[in-house]
Amino acid sequence: MKRFTFQADAYQAQWMLIPIRSKRDVIYLLMQSIKIMLLPRINTPGAVGEMILQVEKMNRLIFSFEKKIFSINFPFSAIEDDGVLRFRSNHHPKIDSKVVSEVLSVIATDEKFYSKEILHFADPITEFCLYDDDFWSLFRELLMFEDGYIRYDHDEANKNEALHPLHHFDVFYSTSNTFKLGSVKPVSTSNFLDVLNLSTNCHFVSPSK
């Protein structure tokens, strides 16, 4: 098992904790996280949380904060080389800072991303493809990958007995899809990782009493 942990400061926490409402938010989070992982690791004074990349049978990014832990799928391979992480995917040989910025620029403006006209959306992608043959394949991969969103909430403000338990998991993010699984006890980061880990024993769901 490979696990890489990155401390997050209060500023990084701001974008990490932006509520996820769409696949575009997931891509944004994933790309911003890769930026951090590509940097040489430095100490983070005043850390308020952490980001964990766990790579084994499961491949996930986990974000852990005081009252919230959540995770998304990490669709790329990570290779550690001389203390530096490198990323590749089935469709792109090298996901570096430049490629990440290009992806972010494609999804940055509503004007382009939600354009009625397909070519308005495609234009910037075509431009990047002029110099990087694999850019479109990577972008398609990002649009298609399963996001695997799951979140643990410790939610004092909205707790409502078994309907909205103090400790619960939210699975999926879109309104019509998402559902809660209660937990009797608080969930720590290691509990959370254990729930997701395919190599450890399963957790069981049982009806509330």
Partner 1 sequence: MQAEKNPKNHDFIDSVSVFCEIHKVQAYLIDRPLGDTKYAYEYKQALVLLIPKHRIVFITFEEKNEKFDDYVDDFIEDLGSISDKYRYKNAIGRPKNWRDDLTTTICHNEIGDFETFLKRLKIENLSRQRVCELLISLLTGSINDIDKVGVEIPETLLDQVKQKILLFDGDQTRFVYQQPTKPKITIQGLSGTGKTELLLHKLKEIYLAFPECKIAFTCHNKILADSLRRRIPEFFDFMKVEQQIQWDERLWCTHAWGSLSDPNSGIYRYICEKYHIQFERYSRYMSFDQACRLALIHLEKNPPTESTFDFCLIDESQDFPDSFFELCKKSTSSTIYVAGDVFQSIFNENITFAIEPDYLLTKCYRTDPKTLMFAHSLGMGLFEPKKLRWLEDREWAACGYLVEKDVTGGRYELSRESLRRFEDVDRADVPSVIISKTAEPFIQGASDQILYCINQIRRENPTVTPDDIGIILLDSNDTAFSLANTLETRVPREIGWKVNVAYETKRRIKDQLFVSNKNNVKGLEFPFVICVTSQIRNSYSYRNSVYMTLTRSFIQTYFVVSEKNNLKILPSIESGLAEINKSGHIIVHAPTIAEKNLISATIKYSADSESFYDMTHRIFEELSVLPIYRENLLEVVKKVFAEEFEYDRLHEVIEFNYKIMSED
Residues that bind partner 1 (CB under 8 A): 9, 11-12, 35-36, 38-40, 44-46, 96-98, 100-101, 104-105, 108-109, 117-120, 123, 130-132
Measured from the CB of residue 10, what is the shortest distance to partner 1 in angstroms?
8
Measured from the CB of residue 19, what is the shortest distance to partner 1 in angstroms?
19
Q: Which is nearer to partner 1, 47 or 171 (CB)?
A: 47
Instruction: Mark residue 161 as left, alpha or beta (left: phi above 0; alpha: psi -120 to 50; beta: remaining).
Output: left
Q: Which is nearer to partner 1, 2 or 120 (CB)?
A: 120
Q: Which is nearer to partner 1, 45 or 207 (CB)?
A: 45
Measured from the CB of residue 54, what is the shortest distance to partner 1 in angstroms?
22
Measured from the CB of residue 77, what is the shortest distance to partner 1 in angstroms?
19
Q: Which is nearer to partner 1, 55 or 103 (CB)?
A: 103
Angle at 15 between CA 11 and CA 20, to 5 degrees: 155
180: exposed, middle or buried (Cβ count in 10 Å: 0-12, 13-18, 19+):
middle
Contacts of residue 121, defined as CB under 8 A and 6 or more positions apart, other chains included, come to: 112, 113, 115
Contacts of residue 148, defined as CB under 8 A and 6 or more positions apart, other chains included, come to: 60, 71, 72, 73
